[in-house]
Amino acid sequence: MFIIHVVPIARGIGKETLSYFSATEIALGSLVNVPVRTRQITGLVIKTEKADDLKAELKNSTFSVKKISGLKVLSLFLPEFIAAAQDTARYAAGSSGSVLASITPKVILEQADKLKINLPPVAKKPETDEDSQPHEPYVLQADEEERLAHYKSLIREQFARKKSVLFCLPTIQDTKRIFETLPKGIDEYTFVLNSAVSKKEVLELWTKISSIPHPVLIIATGSFLGIPRRDIGTIIIERENSSGYKSQNRPYVDIRTFAEFFAKRIGAKLILGDLLLRTETVWRSKNMEITELAPLKFRSLSTAETSIVDLKKYKTLDTPEFRILSDELQELISSNKTNNGNMFIFAARRGLSPITVCGDCGTTVLCNNCSAPIILHRAAGEQFFLCHRCGERRSAEERCRVCNSWKLTTLGIGIELIQDAIQGLFPDIKIFRIDKDSVKTHKQALSVADQFYNAPGSILLGTEMALTYLEKPVENSAIASIDSLFSIPDFRINEKIMNTLLRIRSFTQKTFLIQTRSKDQKLFQYAIKGNLMDFYREEIEERKRLSYPPFTTLIKLTIKGTRAKVAEEMTKLEEELIEYNPLVFPAFIETVNKKSVMHALIRVQHKQWVSENLLDKLQSLPPHIAVNVDPESLL
Ligand SMILES: [Zn+2]
Ligand SMILES: [Zn+2]
């Protein structure tokens, strides 16, 4: 008789491990079915003990140990993978089971019995120094072409050493792009996995990849790192700066953090690569915590001629309205048409206008449901207000809620307003658009991008969403509106804007134009010159002054509920965590679905997290308090 300790892989169990008995021993890393109250859930075996050793203990225990219901699959995960999930759970102040559930495809956990996994042999200890390789993280900051060259030679070198490579990317589109740019010839051993792959295929590939003796290249999004292979020599985290690596759901796992733990556990090389690495990652390399794979590039090259146009010059007494398209942008659109080029125009915000205010009393028009500022849109000739947070839609025919005035006016320029302006001036130019409102599916976006590239002289108008679909260079690009982003009170916003500008500049061949009402923003100068060094220097100074990462680890605690209840709970939480000086503040959008939202922020000095005392406190908080370590934003 054996006592089997399992990690419940399900949300909301609240316990780190559960214990069951079994007549036979079950290998560590196996998935089993176990009863929890009235339901059957999946559990991962992390420890087994002979029951004889425990007899006395069991007799005295007040609960009865239930029998395991059944075995789903033997050794689904490597022990090192489980250990890395446990490391991550500690780091994220969550449970190992919830981490495993968030980094493994659902179909693998639900239908694991359909997998045929042969337990991979235990890794051979390196016999000579040459066989072993350092497992510390490496960084690579360079233009895409140079990064790809590094990756290609790394993959060749790893294959020669009979090692596999895990190539991790933040989005489906990125995995496809990388697959297409990497050398052919190893196709047989290259696999692409992402959430667009069907369940059936995921099951087949999981079995296949884990059983091929030859080294493999796995190009995948974050939830496929668990495919059990003993020979992984390198893990690449490409586009390290992407917020796509951070989960939006509890326990808010960051794939980058997990990959670091995992690489360490399996003794693999970890490479963090991007055009512009996260500020904290650059800082860590400057402080020798991570190694440069090649000297970091702080100047990004581009063949494009760049310029910044001041939109303020158009605002005079005679023309009090802001211009949407500067003369320079109009000229560029027109010459792009004449020269049969392809042109991308970026707009930061969806809709006609991101903010509507009362012209008399200045009140911002808000969503009735969640109190986020409402966005003016138009469809079928009719104007309406749409909430981008909760999706509520209502007619735009209304008066100010405060002073009853009809004089509602819009501020800021959304993508639809830009489209109207271009169409008005250039009725014969074909305009394509990629944003959440115009494109509903991944397939549709691909098709729009394809049509755009095949229509010389045309324009693609897009938000951030469009960038993933711009896979080939374009002749000309322009930033039509981006200023509204600077007013977002978020510590990462400058980095996000810089990253967006650099990406657009990097795929532009001839002319790159930024029009703005705040020409003096130094960031624009850095972006058009590809000057990453001064950007970094300024950013890191600011982070230091305000005690943001990397100087501290941020932990954000969030409570939702009725106003009175949230206030009461927050007071309790503040007392509980008093020694950590929590900073309590309302969320940027204070109410969501008529519920009040409050945050408490704890700052832990660099390298002081994980601290046992604080971890204990966070893990014993009631489940309705959400804990987010390394939040992407404080809003
Ligand atoms: Zn008013
Ligand atoms: Zn709303």
**Segment 30-86, tens digit of pLDDT:** 889 999 888 888 898 888 888 776 665 665 555 567 888 888 887 788 889 999 999
Ligand 2 centroid vs 594 CA: distance in angstroms? 9
Ligand 2 centroid vs 439 CA: distance in angstroms? 21
Look at residue 69 in the predicted model and tell me its pLDDT. 85
Ligand 1 centroid vs 364 CA: distance in angstroms? 8
Ligand 2 centroid vs 279 CA: distance in angstroms? 32
Q: Which ligand lies nearest to the CA atom of residue 401 in the structure?
A: 1
Q: Which of 115-124, 217-226, 455-464, 586-595 has the lowest mean pLDDT?
A: 115-124
The Cα–Cα gap between 307 and 296 comes to: 26
Ligand 1 centroid vs 357 CA: distance in angstroms? 8
Ligand 1 centroid vs 373 CA: distance in angstroms? 15
Ligand 1 centroid vs 589 CA: distance in angstroms? 21
Query: Which residues face 481 on adjacent strands?
Result: 347
pLDDT in tens, 142-170: 999 999 999 999 999 999 999 999 999 99
Look at residue 471 in the predicted model and tell me its pLDDT. 86
Q: Which ligand lies nearest to the CA atom of residue 591 in the structure?
A: 2
The Cα–Cα gap between 494 and 486 comes to: 7
Ligand 1 centroid vs 562 CA: distance in angstroms? 28
Contact 48, 17 (CB under 8 A): no
371, pLDDT greater than 90: no
Q: Which ligand lies nearest to the CA atom of residue 405 in the structure?
A: 1
Question: What number is the average pLDDT over the span 444-463?
Answer: 97
CA 375 to centroid of chain Cα atoms: 24
Ligand 2 centroid vs 587 CA: distance in angstroms? 14
Name every residue whose Cβ is closer than 8 Å to that of residue 558 and which is 6 or more positions away in sequence: 587, 597, 598, 599, 600, 625, 626, 628
Ligand 2 centroid vs 494 CA: distance in angstroms? 26
Query: Phi, psi (5° rounding) for residue 72?
Result: -95, -50
> pTM surpassing 0.85?
yes
242, pLDDT greater than 60: yes
Q: Which ligand lies nearest to the CA atom of residue 360 in the structure?
A: 1
Ligand 2 centroid vs 391 CA: distance in angstroms? 6
Query: Which residues face 404 on adjacent strands?
Result: none
Q: Are strands 269-274 and 232-238 parallel, antiparallel or unpaired?
A: parallel
Q: Per the structure block, which two tokens stand in for 547?
A: 């005690």
Contact 122, 80 (CB under 8 A): no
Q: Per the structure block, which two tokens stand in for 430?
A: 């074909």
Q: Which ligand lies nearest to the CA atom of residue 408 in the structure?
A: 1
Ligand 1 centroid vs 356 CA: distance in angstroms? 11
Contact 465, 349 (CB under 8 A): no
Q: Tell me which residue has tokens 């030679």.
A: 153
Contact 291, 139 (CB under 8 A): yes
pLDDT in tens, 307-322: 999 988 887 766 666 7
358-368 burial: b if 16+ Cβ within 10 Å, else e: beeeeeebbbe
Q: Which ligand lies nearest to the CA atom of residue 365 in the structure?
A: 1
Per-residue CA distances from 327 to 309, 314, 324, 338, 419 (Å):
9, 10, 10, 16, 16
Name every residue whose Cβ is closer than 8 Å to that of residue 531 and which is 6 or more positions away in sequence: 298, 299, 525
pLDDT in tens, 588-635: 777 766 788 899 999 999 999 999 999 999 999 988 899 999 999 888
Name every residue whose Cβ is closer than 8 Å to that of residue 249 and which is 6 or more positions away in sequence: 102
Ligand 1 centroid vs 411 CA: distance in angstroms? 15
The Cα–Cα gap between 476 and 32 comes to: 56
Q: Which ligand lies nearest to the CA atom of residue 402 in the structure?
A: 1
Ligand 1 centroid vs 399 CA: distance in angstroms? 8
pLDDT in tens, 575-593: 999 999 999 988 877 776 6
The Cα–Cα gap between 90 and 619 comes to: 9
